Chain A
Amino acid sequence: MAIKVQIPTPMRQHTEGKAVAESTGSTVQGVLDDLGRQYPALTERLFEKGQVRRFVNVYLNDEDIRYLDNLSTAVKDGDEVAIIPAVAGG
């Protein structure tokens, strides 16, 4: 399934400058794993010991995946995933 993934500006050096990357998978985990296969430098930056790092937020169609089923959240064709730095606001 084709999923669009938004890449935050300072991370685009690891995605050949792409703001939006195409990825596939049936869950958010699968989508991010596939993204990591395409751009290996991203994986270690997004994950620590198999978990999304503390200061990274992942959204599926504008909803934070922590309010859904986390990395196990199912995705379908046309969904959009966004990776957004969490260190903001307050």
Chain B
Amino acid sequence: MASFVRGLKCRLCGKLYPVEPTNFCTDDFGPLEVDYDYDAIKSVLTREAIAARPFNMWRYRELLPLDEAPLVGLQVGGTPLVRANRLAAILGVSRLWIKNDAVNFPTLSFKDRVVAVALSKAKEFGFNTVGCASTGNLANSVAANAASAGLEAYIFVPADLERAKILGTSVYGANVIGVRGTYDEVNRLCTQVAFKYGWGFVNINLRPFYAEGSKSMGFEIAEQLGWKTPRHVVAPMAGGSLIGKIQKAFQELALLGLIDQPRCSFYGAQATGCNPISDAVKTGKETHRPVRKPNTIAKSLAIGDPADGYFAAKVIRESGGWSEDVSDPEISEAMALLAKTEGIFAETAGGVTVAVTRKLIEQGRIPRDEDIVLCITGNGLKTQDAVAGCLTEPAVIGTSLEEFEPLLDRSREGQPLLV
């Protein structure tokens, strides 16, 4: 397979770097981004070529930064775009879709996309040991994909993470290190570890490649809508990278002539207990003010000092979007609402996205009669405690019909099934 990558380029000053495991410019510390030869891609990547390939993220492989065929995560992506009419009715909008990465393979979050690229690239670079700093979903994904690729993994998480996310990392044989500190403190430690030991940290020295994997969510949304972009996209924000990568995906498809020039506004969703980016948007700050101690049940979004905060706020402002944040009870209620209306059990971040969407619609920021896509990025089975308080405990009865029938009567009267 031919490579379409020309190198890495600083997002601030434009300085060019060769393809190597590094993430920032040595002149101004700016983030490095993959630089593609779009003219060459345009000559080979057509709708027909894409349609002939299996429905996973690699059908857009020319727009992903590998030099060779992917080696890790060959089945990632290709998740459903669900028309969500029952949720739309509750929210009072006419056209709503859910991009459901809660069922991404293999670890039930959008992180499988970025990890598939990062670990394939790690193999190309010849790393034997990989790692990450994570709020949970990334930990699961790096651990699982590293296991399947035969890579050793060191995974650093805040020690107070949900137990399901820690177990869902250890099970793959990864070395899991719980750090007593916030995600930002874990991240700082990992920055030091990555450079000291020369390992491939997916979201540190492999970050320019890693981040590109998120674009596949955007490519899929456009293709699944019949090669067009929605008018509005709502995405959760932790580090703030995803929202910009979906925009970039739409722009690249337009650049290649695969879709018309997109007119899409982007809306970022955060929890009030960790809202540096939505605060920056709402108060007109160019740069976010970091949050020292995040405090929210949406732990997967609890990044107080998001690396892409500046860029996310810029994408939101310049696309005519907006940002909001919601409380923990609103998050839990929205998780239950999504499950009850659409049969989709999303994790806390999904609750954040649904609740923020509702808020933005009520504020008139998102109009009611235009195409809206919500990005659901993780699975509710990993954060079950967050929704437990909103649910009724199941009724427990004996084995006789006599015990069931009174319950049924009460249920038909709209009463809860309490015994």
A: residues with CB less than 8 A from B are: 8-11, 13, 45, 48, 53-57, 59, 62, 64, 66-67, 84-90
Contacts and interface: CB of A to CB of B under 8 A. Distances in A.
A45 B26 contact: yes
A86 to B, nearest CB: 6
B224 interface: no
A5 B23 CA distance: 22
A54 B310 contact: yes
A83 to B, nearest CB: 9
B81 interface: no
A64 B304 CA distance: 12
Main secondary structure of the interface of A (DSSP, over half): mixed
B240 A85 contact: no
B22 interface: yes
B39 interface: no
Nearest to A6: B192
Q: Which 5 A-B pairs have the closest CB atoms?
A: A90-B239, A9-B195, A89-B187, A55-B29, A87-B31
A45 B27 contact: yes
Given A8-B195, A54-B310, A90-B240, A85 B303 contact: no
B308 interface: yes
A88 B133 contact: yes
B376 interface: no
B26 A90 contact: no
Contact of B26 (A10, A64, A84, A89): A10
Contacts of A8: 191, 195
A90 B22 contact: no
Contacts of B28: 45, 48, 53, 55
A90 B111 CA distance: 10
26 contacts: A8-B191, A8-B195, A10-B22, A10-B24, A10-B26, A45-B26, A53-B29, A54-B12, A56-B29, A64-B305, A85-B29, A86-B29, A86-B305, A87-B29, A87-B207, A87-B307, A88-B133, A88-B190, A88-B307, A89-B133, A89-B190, A89-B239, A90-B203, A90-B211, A90-B306, A90-B307
B118 to A, nearest CB: 12
Contacts of B196: 9
Interface of B: 12, 22-24, 26-32, 133, 183-185, 187-188, 190-192, 195-196, 201, 203-204, 207, 211, 238-241, 287, 289-290, 292, 303, 305-308, 310
Nearest to A90: B239
Given A64-B290, A66-B290, A84-B191, A89 B307 contact: yes
Contacts of B290: 64, 66-67
A11 B204 contact: no
B192 A84 contact: yes
A9 B199 CA distance: 13
A47 to B, nearest CB: 10
Nearest to B22: A10
Given A57-B188, A86-B305, A90-B306, A67 B292 contact: yes
A86 B26 CA distance: 12
A17 B213 CA distance: 34
B154 to A, nearest CB: 15
Contacts of B191: 8, 84-85, 88
Contacts of A9: 195-196
Nearest to A46: B29
Contact of A90 (B12, B287, B292, B308): B308
Contacts of A56: 29
Contacts of B207: 87-88
Contacts of A89: 133, 183-184, 187, 190, 203-204, 239, 303, 306-307
A85 B133 CA distance: 15
Nearest to A19: B196
Residue from A11, A66, A84 whose CB has the most chain B CB atoms within 10 Å: A84
Contacts of A57: 188, 305
Contact of B203 (A48, A59, A88): A88
A57 B185 CA distance: 12
Nearest to A85: B24
Contacts of A54: 12, 29-30, 287, 310
A85 B23 contact: yes
Contacts of A59: 188
A67 B239 CA distance: 19
B287 A84 contact: no
Given A84-B191, A90-B211, 18 more contacts: A10-B26, A10-B195, A13-B26, A48-B28, A54-B29, A54-B310, A55-B24, A57-B305, A66-B289, A66-B290, A85-B23, A85-B29, A87-B307, A88-B190, A89-B184, A89-B187, A89-B306, A90-B308
